[in-house]
Copies of this chain bind each other. A is one copy, B any other.
Amino acid sequence: MDDRIMGMLLREVARLHLQMQRTSIACCSGTTSTQCFILTELGRSGTITLADLGRRLGLDKGWTSRAVDSMARAGLLLKTASDTDRRTINISLSPAGEARYAELNQALNEHSGRVMRWIPDADQHMVHVALRLLSEALRAEAASVPATEKQEGSCDDGTELSCCEPC
């Protein structure tokens, strides 16, 4: 299989989706795209700690702390101290956050449904299976890289074009 075509397709899909997602989110409420990510992650994972949330979203913990704080001030999230580890804080959706999560989910699902309507019914199952495979592959690749990404930070060994493959 040709990596070039695959790469372009994957990039195109990600870019187009993100672009349209922005408009979908903006339409619904004052929720910004990062707040949307936090809401959906909490809605799926339930109560998790702040550091865990940042790790799952691939965001800096400082930025995550501020974003969570502002959303807690807005009444969307609850910050409760853990009783087993006094360092950690458990983040969860407040009732208002649950409602916003449901609202957001509906808007985004409605949007993806509109996109799906452009795909023939006979192919929809295939697209579904392919997306599942892709998400698993992306997660697997993401999990496999960090083991070696911090040790070899050279990336300037000699060849000027073939970067990124040793690092």
Contact = CB atoms under 8 A, between A and B. Distances in A.
A147 interface: no
Interface in A4-38: 4-21, 23-24, 27-29, 37
A124 B126 CA distance: 12
* CB-based closest 5 A-B pairs: A130-B130, A7-B112, A118-B137, A3-B113, A16-B138
Contacts of A44: 8
A85 interface: no
A105 B127 CA distance: 25
Residue of A6, A18, A102, A149 with highest tally of chain B CB at under 10 A: A6
Q: How many copies does the complex hold?
A: 2
Given A6-B113, A113-B3, A138 B103 contact: no
A10 B118 CA distance: 15
A111 B7 contact: yes
Given A9-B132, A118-B140, 13 more contacts: A7-B108, A10-B17, A10-B115, A10-B131, A13-B131, A14-B17, A16-B135, A17-B138, A110-B165, A119-B133, A119-B134, A129-B130, A131-B134
